[in-house]
Amino acid sequence: MSTKNFDVVVIGGGPGGYIAAIRAAQLGFNTACIDEWKNDKGGPAPGGTCTNVGCIPSKALLQSSEHFEHANKHFAEHGITADNVQIDVAKMIGRKATVVKQNNDGILYLFKKNKVSFFHGRGSFVGAKDGVYELKAGEETVTAKHVVIATGSNARQLPGAEFDEELILSNDGALRIGATPKTLGVIGSGVIGLEMGSVWRRLGAEVTILEAMPAFLAAADESVAKEAAKVFKKQGLDIQLGVKIASVTKGKDSVTIAYADAKGAEQTLVVDKLIVSIGRVPNTIGLNPEAVGLKLDERGAIVVDDECKTNLPGVWAVGDVVRGPMLAHKAEEEGVAVAERIAGQHGHVNFATIPWVIYTSPEIAWVGKTEQQLKAEGVPYKAGQFPFLANGRARALGDTTGFVKMLAHAQTDEVLGVHIIGPMASELIAEAVMAMEFKASAEDIARICHAHPSLSEATKEAALAVDKRTLNF
């Protein structure tokens, strides 16, 4: 088979890789993208973890389960009778698969539109000669001067509790449970654990989340974490902090977890299914980095500098396989920046304004520094907070949990962090990201006209609260 020559070859078709490939093609490079993900029929399914077993399918299930909970618990408040509401889990999972396929097909369409050559199969280094890299692309051979690695990450295994995707589930199995389990255990109370726990709790499972850390949502602002813990408890999520797992034993139809609770007392939990969500590890399986001397760190991540350059000339790496937060939008931004740097432009990723979102109900979203970080760093700050309870749109929606909290520099008034727990926090945070990217002051946001009635008025009011002059609270 003949060798195909490209300017840029991208390995991995997740958000980091497919976006890098499209941007490189837009910039005039002859570009290929290699991705090995297979759909149920063995065909291509580009989009990576995010599209296939991550962001997209989890949000599809969160939406379905939220509809179910609304129909059961909240329709009556609106005068709507919905007796005997049932959930067809198989149909819900089928809908999720359709949403995933629409995204897979969308990426294949975008490759065609942008003239990106797509190879379905594994990409691996063969060697390098005169600054040109030779790679396997499935059954074919390709060469390029520039290689972008975007091979993502895999779920971290808990020693002694290997995934079988039947009883002990990674994110993959957690998104394919065929019937609501009566009892569900989750090890790890991070984003994935909370989102998956919420889905199955809403559908009727008794959910226990075991977390090793003594603090809940340690990365979030403390006031948000405190509010979230209160609300999730009320919803029926049993979140136990500071636990130490002793053993995980599989039975025929159940899993037994032996652990020490925060006080050191021995406990046993028996569940129908167990989700293990204790983080993710960078993935370079099959990449054959040794063939070219590509440097990895002790965690298995590809070593890159601030610009995503590896130790090899012309080889870049982006997304979950490198340092930094494992988020799809971070991977995308790095992908764009790398393509632009290959073109000699000044690619830009501002780590200080990357938003974080947890799609529970209420949603949680933040950008910038937390109050505890500002205190630790000795930065003088002012804080303003506005509750959704005092927001007209939230009342009309019937969803008044939570607040918007804004942190601004005490002297310059520059916005340093915004923390939201409440309805549509995932959408509201965009205004804060924009404001921080443009180095806005709290006063700037306070003086911008926000539509009434809208949830975004809570952000404006939080900005007013920084200067102790809220109008509606």
Residues forming the active site:
452
Least distance from ligand FAD to the Cβ atom of residue 181, Å: 17
Q: Which residue has the tokens 């091979």?
A: 151
Q: How far is 60 from 57, CA to CA, in rounded Å?
A: 5
Give the binding range for ligand FAD (CB under 6 A) out of 199-207, 290-298, 321-329, 360-368.
321-329
Q: How far is 199 from 192, CA to CA, in rounded Å?
A: 11
Cis peptide before 289, with omega less than 30 degrees from 0? no
* Sign of the torsion angle spanned by Cα atoms 445, 451, 452, 454: negative
- Would you give the binding string for ligand FAD spanning residues 84-123, x where CB under 6 A is met? --------------------------------------xx
State yes or no: residue 55 binds ligand FAD (CB under 6 A): yes
Least distance from ligand FAD to the Cβ atom of residue 282, Å: 9
Whose Cβ is closer to ligand FAD: residue 89's or residue 389's?
Answer: 89
The letter for the amino acid at 267 is Q
Contact 295, 302 (CB under 8 A): yes
Give the CA distances from residue 240 to residues 188, 209, 213, 278, in Å, rounded to whole numbers and listed in that order.
Answer: 10, 6, 10, 15
State yes or no: residue 193 binds ligand FAD (CB under 6 A): no
State yes or no: residue 136 binds ligand FAD (CB under 6 A): no
For 84, other C-beta atoms within 10 Å of its C-beta total 5
Angle (CA) 424-430-434 rounded to 5° is 160
Give the binding range for ligand FAD (CB under 6 A) out of 197-205, 328-336, 360-368, 439-447.
328-336
Q: Which helix (H) or strand (E) holds 63?
A: helix 55-69
Q: Which of 22, 248, 326, 367 binds ligand FAD (CB under 6 A)?
A: 326
Residue 151 burial (10 A CB sphere; 0-12, 13-18, 19+): buried
Q: Which of 6, 9, 16, 245 binds ligand FAD (CB under 6 A)?
A: 16
Q: How far is 169 from 154, CA to CA, in rounded Å?
A: 13
State yes or no: residue 184 binds ligand FAD (CB under 6 A): no
Least distance from ligand FAD to the Cβ atom of residue 379, Å: 27
State yes or no: residue 134 binds ligand FAD (CB under 6 A): no
Six-digit token pair at 180? 């609501």
Query: How many chain residues are in contact with ligand FAD, going by CB under 6 A?
Result: 38
Contact 110, 102 (CB under 8 A): no
Give the CA distances from residue 29 to residues 13, 18, 54, 349, 356, in Å, rounded to whole numbers and listed in that order.
Answer: 17, 14, 30, 21, 32
State yes or no: residue 15 binds ligand FAD (CB under 6 A): yes
Q: Which of 48, 181, 193, 197 binds ligand FAD (CB under 6 A)?
A: 48
State yes or no: residue 176 binds ligand FAD (CB under 6 A): no
State yes or no: residue 34 binds ligand FAD (CB under 6 A): yes
Q: Which of 211, 272, 320, 371 binds ligand FAD (CB under 6 A)?
A: 320
Give the binding range for ligand FAD (CB under 6 A) out of 10-18, 245-253, 294-302, 403-411.
10-18
State yes or no: residue 392 binds ligand FAD (CB under 6 A): no
State yes or no: residue 283 binds ligand FAD (CB under 6 A): yes
| Residue 433 CB contacts under 8 Å (≥ 6 apart), including other chains | 353, 355, 367
Least distance from ligand FAD to the Cβ atom of residue 255, Å: 20
State yes or no: residue 423 binds ligand FAD (CB under 6 A): no
Least distance from ligand FAD to the Cβ atom of residue 357, Å: 6
Give the CA distances from residue 161 to residues 170, 255, 256, 366, in Å, rounded to whole numbers and listed in that order.
Answer: 11, 10, 11, 33
| Beta-bridge mates of residue 316 | 148, 309
Q: Which of 6, 8, 9, 14 binds ligand FAD (CB under 6 A)?
A: 14
Whose Cβ is closer to ligand FAD: residue 20's or residue 436's?
Answer: 20
| Beta-bridge mates of residue 44 | 38
Give the binding range for ligand FAD (CB under 6 A) out of 247-255, 303-311, 317-325, 376-384.
317-325
Q: Which residue has the tokens 């299914």?
A: 273
For 105, other C-beta atoms within 10 Å of its C-beta total 14
Whose Cβ is closer to ligand FAD: residue 320's or residue 431's?
Answer: 320
Q: Which residue has the tokens 């063995």?
A: 42
State yes or no: residue 363 binds ligand FAD (CB under 6 A): no
Provide the binding-site residues for ligand FAD, judged by CB under 6 A.
11-17, 34-37, 48-50, 54-55, 58, 122-124, 150-153, 171, 192, 283, 286-287, 319-321, 326-329, 331, 359
